[in-house]
Structure formats: structure tokens, C-alpha cells
């Protein structure tokens, strides 16, 4: 699956219930600064255990969602997205999912949310939850709009995949033989209609289909020049290197002085040989031959054509040498904490493997395609407006707390 972490709509199944949420939000919805520990009980001092009779002091048990739900009728129009009416039922679902994340954390850790705490410069936590709900509504509409504008439609295969996902989740939640009626009732427990559930799944499928249609399965449709420009703008650099180690790879301990000097001499001889080759193509061929024979870097198998990386990834001495020379030039020997490097700077390449500390490299064009697509979707979401109805009044969540 492509890395649409900023925008991908995710369905998460948890225990006996379903938690549906959109992973991308315009601001954090559970910022630690907005969650305060309960104040000390009267008469309690630091380090003292509260008296037995104080154990029954009020504690937070989440919001009274039924009371909030009763503020409006399900089908009451409380706003619009680009002219499309939004009902209280639709809005309330996204509100519920936003607020419930904070509730779950607060209850788990035994803390009271301070809904009046400023979560941003101009919004308290209560206001932010409501605005995030509106953002979620905008997000789904915007992705549908973007897909339509770009001629992206779900294929029969996509539709079948969504249908299979529904059946799989129905079985996972309710067991074999569960009916649609039972599954719909489970959705209703979280104030989610079957229509909304399927809309989320279809929007998720549209995101995946849009990437494939517009960029290719792995970014093969993107322009090479655009990829190279992106890499340069993000501060990527690329280099081959031959590493002659000055440490024992098994222990990380330095070799003895004689062995270190032998490694240094070998590296200097390789650098001298390569620098003497005047033709870039011939130098590259010979570099690869020597790298295969002498390089101690275990990463050469995963990155046979060199490393493409951002500043701060490699040793500073390595990066400085790479930046100080033109493409296909070979450096003098560069010493780092692991040994001696002969470095050949390489031009940025759309098909290069981009180094990943996680061990899962990405092809540069795929990395660019994912970033460009996410930005395009984010821009479309920003262009879609949510307007509250004139008579809709934002409520304060602190007025709906359950305590015991």
C-alpha cells in the first residue's frame, strides 16, 4: 500500500466495536497540553496518600453523547459543503469520533480533559473538536471532487474489493453468519450509517485508484525532470562509495594500528587508481568493479547503484566530500568512525533507490509521486468550504461531561 499517511481514510476494528477515523486532521485532537491531571483534593499535600473518604471524589467518565445527540434532529441541516447539505447525523458521527479519541485517552490515563484549554492560538479544545468534525466532512467531499475532476472512477475490481472488505469486517466483528442487519446495528452503536460506512470505504478505494491512474502503480507515469527537481528541492544527494573498514564489524571495536594503516593504504591506492581515469563512463565502470571486490559496506547489496539520501543521514565528512565535487568525480580518502571511504558523487536519478533507515528503500519516482499526490489532495481539501447553518450554535463540551 502506498504511503498516503496524511490523507488515507482508515477503518480500524477494535475489540467488539468498530472505530472509524480519518488519519489526517488539520491539527492535533488530543494534544497533551489540553489534558490536565485532576487537581489535588482539598487538604492533600504532595507525597501524601488521599484519605479513604476522598476516594469517592468525582472522576471523568467521558462525554454524555446521547445528550449532545439530542441537541438536534438527525436530519436537521446544520451546514453545507460546497452547497451540499450536511445533516446533524453526518456531522455528529465525525464529532463523535474526534471527541471519543480524547475520551478514551482521558479515561485510560485517569485524567480530566480541560475543554477550555487553548489547543491552538485561536481555538480551545472544545472548538477544535467541532472544527475537526467539519474538516472530516470536507475531506470526503474533496476527495470525491478531485477524483471526478481527474476522471478517476472505481473499477469493477475496486467495487468487488470493497464488497469483500465489508464481508471480512462483518465476520471479524460479529462472527460467521452475521447478517447485514446485525452489522448495520453495530455501526449504529457508533452513530454511523451504513451509507457513511460505505462512503468511507469507497473514498479510500478512490484514493488508491487515483494514484494508480494519475501516477502509475509505482510512479512510472511521472516526468523524470519533476522527480529530479523534487529530490534537489528536498536536499537529496547521491553517491557511490567504497568502504574499507577500520573497525571489527562483529564487535564494533577498532582494529589494531597496523591493520588500520593497511586499510588506509588500500583505500588510498583505490582512490588514486580511480582518479587517474579521465573518462566518466570508464571511471564509473571501474568504480563498480572495485566496489564489488573491496567494499566492506553490507548495504551495497541493497543499494548496488549507490545511496540517495538527505543531509544528516551519513557521516558529516562523507556528505561534505559528496557535495564538494561534481558528478562522477572521485574523492580523496575520507575517514569516518567506521573506516576509509572513496566517494563518487552521482547525479540525482528518478529511478534511484532512496535510502531508508527502516531498511525499506523507495524508488525516487514513487517517493515523489506519493508526495505530489498527497499535496494535490490536501490542496483540494483546502479549497472546499464548510459553512455552518445560520442557526447552528457551537456547543461547549465541558457542559456535557459524565462524572461519578
In angstroms, the CA 180 to CA 166 distance is 10
The verdict on 204 and 291 lying in the same domain is no
Residue 378 domain-assigned?
A: no
The verdict on 235 and 202 lying in the same domain is no
Residue 399 domain-assigned?
A: no
The verdict on 236 and 159 lying in the same domain is no
Residue 397 domain-assigned?
A: no
Residue 20 is predicted with a pLDDT of 34
In angstroms, the CA 294 to CA 292 distance is 6
Residue 404 is predicted with a pLDDT of 63
What is the extent of the structural domain holding 237? 224-354
The verdict on 101 and 18 lying in the same domain is yes
- Of the three residues 155, 190, 215, the one that is the final residue of a domain is 215
What pTM was estimated for this model as a whole? 0.81
Residue 260 is predicted with a pLDDT of 96
* 323: number of Cβ within 10 Å: 11
Q: Is 232 exposed, middle or buried (0-12, 13-18, 19+ CB in 10 A)?
A: exposed
Residue 316 domain-assigned?
A: yes
Place of cell 471532487: 145
The verdict on 78 and 181 lying in the same domain is yes
The verdict on 206 and 276 lying in the same domain is no
Question: Can you read off the three cell numbers belonging to residue 132?
Answer: 475537526
The verdict on 253 and 150 lying in the same domain is no
Residue 3 is predicted with a pLDDT of 52
- Of the three residues 197, 215, 233, the one that is the final residue of a domain is 215
The verdict on 125 and 177 lying in the same domain is yes
**90: Cβ–Cβ under 8 A, 6 or more apart, which residues?**
137, 196
Q: State how beta strands 339-346 and 77-81 pair.
A: unpaired
Residue 48 domain-assigned?
A: no
Residue 60 is predicted with a pLDDT of 83
In angstroms, the CA 383 to CA 350 distance is 31
* 159: number of Cβ within 10 Å: 12
The verdict on 245 and 127 lying in the same domain is no
CA within 13 Å, CB half, 41: 14
Identify which of 234, 238, 255, 235 has the alpha carbon closest to the alpha carbon of residue 246: 255
List the CATH number of the domain containing 327. 3.10.50.40
- 2, 96, 158, 193 from 134: Cα distances, Å: 26, 12, 28, 17
Classify each residue of 275-297 as buried b or exposed e, where b means 16 or more C-beta atoms within 10 Å of its C-beta. Answer: eebeeeeebbebbbebbeeebbb
Domain count, the chain: 2
Question: Can you read off the three cell numbers belonging to residue 56?
Answer: 469517592
Question: Can you read off the three cell numbers belonging to residue 267?
Answer: 583505500
The verdict on 105 and 168 lying in the same domain is yes
Residue 357 is predicted with a pLDDT of 79
Residue 47 domain-assigned?
A: no
Question: Can you read off the three cell numbers belonging to residue 284?
Answer: 564509473
Question: Can you read off the three cell numbers belonging to residue 131?
Answer: 472544527
Rounded average pLDDT per 10-residue block, the chain, 404 residues:
43 32 33 33 41 55 94 96 95 93 88 91 94 93 96 97 94 93 93 92 94 96 98 96 94 94 97 97 97 93 93 95 97 96 98 88 94 95 95 94 78
The verdict on 211 and 325 lying in the same domain is no
* 359: number of Cβ within 10 Å: 8
Residue 146 domain-assigned?
A: yes
CB 124 within 8 A of CB 117: yes
3-state helix/strand/coil string of the chain: CCCCCCCCEEEEEECCEEEEEECCCCCCCCCHHHEECCCCCCCCCCCCCCCHHHHHCCCEEEECHHHHHCCCCCCCEEEEECCEEEEHHHHHHHHHHHHHHHHHHHHHHCCEECCCCECCCCCEHHHHHHHHHHHHHHHHHHHHHHHHHCCCCCCHHHHHHHHHHHHHHHHHHHCCCCCHHHHHHHHHHCCCCHHHHHHHHHHHHHHHHHHHHHHCCCCCCCCHHHHHHHHHHCCEEEEEEEEEECECCCCCCECCHHHHHHHHHHHHHHHHHHHCCCCHHHHHHHHHHHHHHHCCCHHHCCCCCCEEEECCCCCHHHHHHHHCCCCCCECCCEEECCEEEEEEEECCCCCCEECCCCCCCEEHHHHHHHHHHHHHHHHHHHHCCEEECCCCCCCCHHHHEEEC
- Of the three residues 215, 241, 263, the one that is the final residue of a domain is 215
**285: Cβ–Cβ under 8 A, 6 or more apart, which residues?**
none
The verdict on 249 and 320 lying in the same domain is yes
Residue 245 domain-assigned?
A: yes
Amino acid at each position: 500500500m502506498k504511503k498516503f499517511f496524511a490523507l488515507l481514510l482508515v477503518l480500524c476494528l477494535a475489540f467488539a466495536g468498530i472505530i472509524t477515523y480519518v488519519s489526517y486532521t488539520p491539527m492535533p485532537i488530543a494534544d497533551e497540553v489540553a489534558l490536565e491531571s485532576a487537581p489535588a483534593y482539598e487538604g492533600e499535600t504532595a507525597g501524601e496518600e488521599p484519605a479513604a473518604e476522598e476516594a469517592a471524589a468525582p472522576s471523568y467518565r467521558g462525554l454524555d453523547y446521547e445528550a449532545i445527540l439530542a441537541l438536534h434532529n438527525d436530519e436537521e441541516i446544520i451546514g453545507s459543503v460546497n452547497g451540499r447539505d450536511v445533516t446533524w447525523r453526518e456531522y455528529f458521527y465525525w464529532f463523535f469520533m474526534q471527541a471519543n479519541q480524547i475520551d478514551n485517552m482521558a479515561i485510560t490515563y485517569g485524567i480530566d480533559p480541560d475543554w477550555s484549554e487553548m489547543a491552538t492560538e485561536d481555538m480551545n479544545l472544545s472548538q477544535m473538536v467541532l472544527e475537526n468534525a467539519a474538516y472530516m466532512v470536507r475531506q470526503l467531499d474533496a476527495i470525491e471532487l478531485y477524483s471526478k475532476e481527474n476522471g478517476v472512477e472505481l473499477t469493477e475490481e475496486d467495487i468487488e474489493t470493497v464488497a469483500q472488505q465489508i464481508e471480512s469486517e462483518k465476520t471479524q466483528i460479529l462472527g460467521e453468519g452475521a447478517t447485514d442487519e446485525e452489522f448495520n446495528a453495530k455501526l449504529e452503536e457508533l452513530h454511523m450509517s451504513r451509507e457513511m460506512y460505505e462512503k468511507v470505504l469507497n473514498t479510500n478505494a478512490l484514493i488508491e485508484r487515483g494514484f494508480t491512474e494519475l501516477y502509475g502503480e509505482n510512479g512510472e507515469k511521472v516526468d523524470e525532470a519533476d522527480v529530479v527537481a523534487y529530490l534537489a528541492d528536498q536536499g537529496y544527494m547521491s553517491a557511490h562509495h567504497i568502504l574499507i573498514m577500520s573497525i571489527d564489524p562483529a564487535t564494533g571495536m577498532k582494529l589494531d594500528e597496523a591493520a588500520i594503516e593497511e586499510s588506509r593504504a588500500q583505500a588510498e591506492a583505490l582512490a588514486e587508481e580511480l582518479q587517474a581515469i579521465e573518462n566518466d563512463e570508464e571511471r564509473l565502470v571501474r568504480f563498480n568493479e572495485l566496489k564489488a571486490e573491496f567494499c566492506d559496506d553490507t548495504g551495497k547489496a541493497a543499494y548496488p547503484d549507490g545511496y540517495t539520501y538527505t543531509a544528516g543521514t551519513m557521516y558529516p565528512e562523507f556528505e561534505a566530500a559528496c557535495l564538494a565535487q561534481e558528478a562522477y568525480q572521485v574523492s580523496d580518502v575520507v575517514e569516518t568512525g567506521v573506516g576509509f571511504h572513496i566517494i563518487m558523487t552521482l547525479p540525482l536519478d528518478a529511478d534511484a533507490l532512496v535510502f531508508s533507515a527502516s531498511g525499506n528503500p523507495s524508488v525516487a519516482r514513487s517517493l515523489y509521486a506519493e508526495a505530489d499526490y498527497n499535496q494535490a489532495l490536501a490542496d483540494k481539501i483546502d479549497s472546499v468550504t464548510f459553512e455552518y447553518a445560520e442557526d447552528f450554535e457551537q456547543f461547549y463540551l465541558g457542559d456535557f461531561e459524565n462524572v461519578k
